[in-house]
A and B are shown apart, each in its own frame.
Chain A
Amino acid sequence: MAKKIRVLIAKPGLDGHDRGAKVVARALRDAGMEVIYTGLHQTAEQIVASAIQEDVDVIGLSLLSGAHMTLFIDVAKLMKTQELTDVLLIGGGIIPQEDIPALKKAGINEIFGPGTPVDDIVCYIQKNVKR
């Protein structure tokens, strides 16, 4: 049995718009990945704990509420404390260009904005999984 890429898709915080997250989840499924979809209103603690139990290769966060500078960075920080160094962290949603350098500095590996072809996300994951 070949190894499959496992991805956790989560929506942190209070934002209830999950269409984008579902579209991405489905595209990753169609690319042969196992997608653990955790749904809405996740805390950073829940996301990281789920990622550990599920032994995922990638955590994908989706946020459209504007709270990414807090919530994405919370997840990145908790991943560091929990030593999840071999897990790729990516984010998507309404993220202004000027926020991206700070997010990357904080440990988010890549940000995908509106209009990104899903194939780009699939390729990025396939190229960059850390194990």
Chain B
Amino acid sequence: MTDLTTKVLTGDTRSIARLISLVENADPEAISSMKTLYSHTGNAHVVGVTGVMGSGKSSLLFELTKTYRHLGKKVGIIAIDPTSPFSGGALLGDRIRMTELSTDAGVFIRSMGTRGALGGLTNAVFDVVDILDASGMDIILIETVGVGQDEVEIVKVADTIIVVTVPGLGDAVQTIKAGLMEIADIFVVNKADKPGVEQTIAELQSMVDLAIDRDWKIPIIATSAKERKGVSTLIENIAAHTSYMHETHVFENRRRIRYEAELLELIRKRVISYVLDDEKLKSQVECCLQRISVRELDPYTAADEILNALLK
């Protein structure tokens, strides 16, 4: 076992941070650590917090973490913000709301850019969850980028999903649209100190009441990170959802989705880099691109040719 891996397992902050950088940069050095760490994972409960930008996700995470700390839980936070598609740079600002937590040894916060990943997450998210899990965190909170209606990749990673909304975002039809509103295990109406909160709750309630085929009744919780209201209720509901999942087969099913997504993603990346790292295949790709651009070849046939060469 490498020194880095051993230190991650003992919860050493600097080693955790270092290994996260290695997986984020797809450094081959990380692979042996990830292989060794895996048998130490599976213990942390992964909570995804998603919702529109400015709905108060970071402030809510801060309040949630403080309450978990009072309960003696160790908390890992993955806070994702968008990477610029133009410069590749990013401004990661989620720590602003969590300053007080920086010096708490039971909390590890990592800000990450999306680095081209779609769906509200970042490419290395599976690995980072595994690292934090293996390092002994009890709860892992993932804050997605501020999402619109359709960024729902978090379903592939989290055990419990909290969809955060705020009063005054739209009428009741918004609540029955597909996508984001379908993935919630718990709805949070944040900024409940603002007007219009009753109506938002009522609209969500009537949507939830329509889903009679589900045995998990999705709770709707009004919170105010500003007035510190509703956070304990939210934590009770996360616990209730956790027990519900363990009593039914939902937990195994969810985890299977995560493992499948993680494995397929690895295979996809490997195949692509296998093609691009091989000189012969790479030049075949170049050649195909030439022929495609003059309409001598179609992309489907080109893909067939490259895959045939790959499998030889």
Contact = CB atoms under 8 A, between A and B. Distances in A.
Interface of A: 1-4, 6, 25-26, 28-39, 41-43, 45-46, 49-50, 52-55
7 contacts: A29-B89, A29-B90, A32-B89, A38-B95, A39-B93, A53-B13, A55-B20
B108 A53 contact: yes
Contacts of A1: 24-26, 115, 123
B103 interface: yes
A2 B89 CA distance: 12
Contact of A31 (B24, B89, B95): B89
Contacts of A46: 99, 102-103
B88 A32 contact: yes
Given A49-B103, A53-B102, A37 B92 contact: yes
Given A29-B90, A32-B89, A2 B99 contact: no
Chain B interface bracket (under 10, 10 to 19, 20 to 34, 35 or more)? 20 to 34
Interface of B: 13-14, 16-18, 20-21, 24-27, 83-84, 87-93, 95-96, 99, 102-103, 108-111, 113, 115, 123
A43 to B, nearest CB: 8
Nearest to B124: A1
Contacts of A55: 14, 17-18, 20-21
A8 to B, nearest CB: 9
B28 to A, nearest CB: 12
A96 B88 CA distance: 35
A54 B17 contact: yes
Nearest to A37: B93
